[in-house]
Chain A
Amino acid sequence: MSLVSAVIEGVLLGGYYAMIACGLSFMFGVMRIINLAHGSLAVVAAFALWYIADRLEYDPFLSLIVVLPAMGAIGWLLQRGILERSARSGELVPILSTFGLAIVIENALFEFFGADIRSLAPYVGSLSYDSFDIGGGAFIGELAVLTFAAAILLLGGLQLFLTYTPLGRQIRATAEDPDTVELVGVNSRFVNAVAASIALVTVALAGLFLGLRANFDPYAGSLQLIFAFEAAVIGGTGSLWGTLLGGIVLGVAQTFGAHVHPQGFLLTGHAVFLLVLVGRVYGPGQFFRTYLKSKLG
């Protein structure tokens, strides 16, 4: 495969990463909670879609009508039942709670579905291997384009929601100052639950595309969490479009790495992530901050 193909594939892969990352960033931005069960929840959605497709024979895209609201409801319950309580004890406890939850989820999935690797690809006809010919011997997958388009729509929709709706304003304000937001009449517990629901709906969508583009098993959540995290960090937590950029950088790094060496896919992605971390700690911004601190005593 040519380098150009690899890069394009990487960019499109970034769309998927942005999708799975945005829920993680969103939850952190609004509630200051890093949900370590994020990846395994995407796998839950993928299994749900698989089950409906395999046993009940409904098209996965159609099944979203049921799965998306169901995941949203799970998000609500997750926030009110677990996250809200754990956040009261400080910033560190939610990490432990969500880690415990992740272990429960992935092993429960194993108990329920077994170790077999699954995929949603067989249930969507030829979508998973059809491709567009873009000339010069390069092809890009229809699914990859669809995924990227879905990511843009998702992020765009989310951005519009946050900017122009009253609830979106409340979410932004709660993210900025959860204490003061109550003083203007906003029920921050309600807003947090809404934010968690929204995050899990995005996770469900990511689960669909995970199942379509790759295989998954009960323990696939860990890697998805890591990808989501890396994309979010590379893009810089703060803006949704930053997450898209982060996803694209990660995707391109990975496909470039695979192009260079058969084992290079994962390693290059991790390497770029670590470089970004180093840059954040020791980069120009940090350099000026420490320089100023030493001058001002």
Chain B
Amino acid sequence: MSLLSISGLDVRHGLLQAVREVSLLVNQGETVALIGANGAGKTTLLRAIAGSHRATRGQIHLDGLDITRMPTYQRVARGIALVPEGRRLFAAMTVEENLQIARASGRPGEWTVDRVMETFPMLKARRKARCGTLSGGEQQATAIGRALMTNPRLLLLDEVSLGLSPLAVDLVYKSVESLIATGATILLVEQDLKRALKVANRVMCMLEGRIVVEGDAKTLTREQITDAYFGHQKRAQTGMAP
């Protein structure tokens, strides 16, 4: 059985229909990349899985359990962890405190503050520093560490490369790869196509709230992806000028 199963999901963002009839599966141990242009609905979809947005229609199942109506903090207790777009750290609190607070989920597991420090060695020196004073890369590491502290079964990563220098992104993705190597299940949203294709098993492309292309990361052609990204396929079908 797949770890995450979504069927027919509709999600509104304010007055906008951000996610339309989305159905997808993520299997245990898989890494799935969600790509698409800005405004395609990727972040809203991740937030809907995590519980920050309520779906108006459709279902979300985690390992067979229907979590569609479950409040956010309970989903975290069941094993979903979202690293939000823009990190969203508690800036007035220290790195250590940000990590400690994630223990609220109450999930047993191997992740501790020390283990996070081992996984992201750059944070060792910044353990007692306020998160508002961290660099972009350090913040991203803390945010991922914070999510890991909940001992998740499913890790959702939203644009972890956003706003970071290439070097910092390298470091972040090295950690992501080591997580994948330990068997983690990851659903990630990524603007950087190259990185997304490099780490993912499968790729899904969203356009205007729908999933328009889905396939194996290694076999999907560049052309198929860019068509889906920019919607050429759709226009070709309706015969209207772009």
Does B associate with A? Answer: yes
Residue ranges of A at the interface with B (Cβ–Cβ < 8 Å): 166, 169-170, 172-173, 176-177, 179-188
Minimum CB–CB distance for A285 against chain B, Å: 19
For the complex of A and B, list the 10 residue pairs with the smallest distance between their C-beta atoms, beginning with the closest. A185-B105, A185-B76, A182-B72, A180-B88, A185-B104, A184-B102, A186-B104, A187-B73, A173-B90, A182-B73
B90 x A183 contact (CB < 8 A): no
CA gap between A187 and B74 in the complex, in Å: 8
Interface size on B, residues (CB 8 A): 29
Using A166-B100, A166-B103, A169-B100 as known contacts, say yes or no to A182 and B51 having CB atoms under 8 A apart.
yes
A189's closest neighbor in chain B, by CB? Answer: B71
Instruction: Verify if B220 is at the interface (C-beta below 8 Å from A).
Output: no
Return chain B residues, CB-CB under 8 Å to A188: 73
Instruction: Verify if B30 is at the interface (C-beta below 8 Å from A).
Output: no
Most chain A CB within 10 A, of B52, B72, B84, B88, is at B72
CA gap between A10 and B160 in the complex, in Å: 54
B101 x A183 contact (CB < 8 A): no
Using A173-B101, A180-B90 as known contacts, say yes or no to A185 and B150 having CB atoms under 8 A apart.
yes
B52 x A169 contact (CB < 8 A): no
Residue ranges of B at the interface with A (Cβ–Cβ < 8 Å): 50-52, 71-73, 76-77, 81-82, 84, 88, 90-93, 97, 100-107, 146-147, 149-150
B73 x A170 contact (CB < 8 A): no
B103's closest neighbor in chain A, by CB? Answer: A166
B92 x A183 contact (CB < 8 A): no
Using A169-B101, A170-B104, A173-B101 as known contacts, say yes or no to A184 and B146 having CB atoms under 8 A apart.
yes
Return chain A residues, CB-CB under 8 Å to B88: 177, 179-180, 183
CA gap between A179 and B51 in the complex, in Å: 10
A176 x B92 contact (CB < 8 A): yes
A163's closest neighbor in chain B, by CB? Answer: B97
B73 x A185 contact (CB < 8 A): yes
Cross-chain pairs A/B with CB under 8 angstroms, 9 sampled: A166-B103, A169-B100, A173-B93, A182-B71, A183-B52, A183-B72, A184-B147, A185-B76, A185-B104
Minimum CB–CB distance for A203 against chain B, Å: 25
A169-B97, A182-B72 given; name 17 further pairs at CB < 8 Å: A172-B90, A173-B93, A173-B101, A176-B92, A177-B90, A179-B88, A180-B88, A180-B90, A182-B71, A183-B81, A183-B82, A184-B102, A184-B104, A184-B149, A185-B76, A185-B103, A185-B104
**Which of these, B84, B93, B100, B103, contacts A183 with CB under 8 Å?**
B84
Return chain B residues, CB-CB under 8 Å to A169: 93, 97, 100-101
Minimum CB–CB distance for B129 against chain A, Å: 16
Return chain B residues, CB-CB under 8 Å to A179: 52, 88
CA gap between A172 and B104 in the complex, in Å: 13
Minimum CB–CB distance for B118 against chain A, Å: 20
Return chain A residues, CB-CB under 8 Å to B71: 182, 187
Minimum CB–CB distance for B48 against chain A, Å: 13
Minimum CB–CB distance for A164 against chain B, Å: 10
CA gap between A180 and B51 in the complex, in Å: 11
B93 x A166 contact (CB < 8 A): no
**Which of these, B91, B92, B150, contacts A184 with CB under 8 Å?**
B150
CA gap between A112 and B84 in the complex, in Å: 53
Minimum CB–CB distance for B73 against chain A, Å: 5
Using A172-B92, A176-B90, A176-B93 as known contacts, say yes or no to A184 and B101 having CB atoms under 8 A apart.
yes
B104 x A183 contact (CB < 8 A): no
Minimum CB–CB distance for A51 against chain B, Å: 40
B73 x A186 contact (CB < 8 A): yes
**Which of these, A166, A176, A177, A183, contacts B50 with CB under 8 Å?**
A183
B93 x A170 contact (CB < 8 A): no
Return chain A residues, CB-CB under 8 Å to B50: 183
Return chain A residues, CB-CB under 8 Å to B91: 176
Return chain B residues, CB-CB under 8 Å to A180: 84, 88, 90
**Which of these, B52, B93, B106, contacts A185 with CB under 8 Å?**
B106
Using A166-B104, A172-B90, A176-B91 as known contacts, say yes or no to A183 and B97 having CB atoms under 8 A apart.
no
Return chain A residues, CB-CB under 8 Å to B77: 185
CA gap between A244 and B91 in the complex, in Å: 25
**Which of these, A176, A177, A185, contacts B102 with CB under 8 Å?**
A185
Most chain B CB within 10 A, of A169, A181, A182, A187, is at A182
Minimum CB–CB distance for A192 against chain B, Å: 13
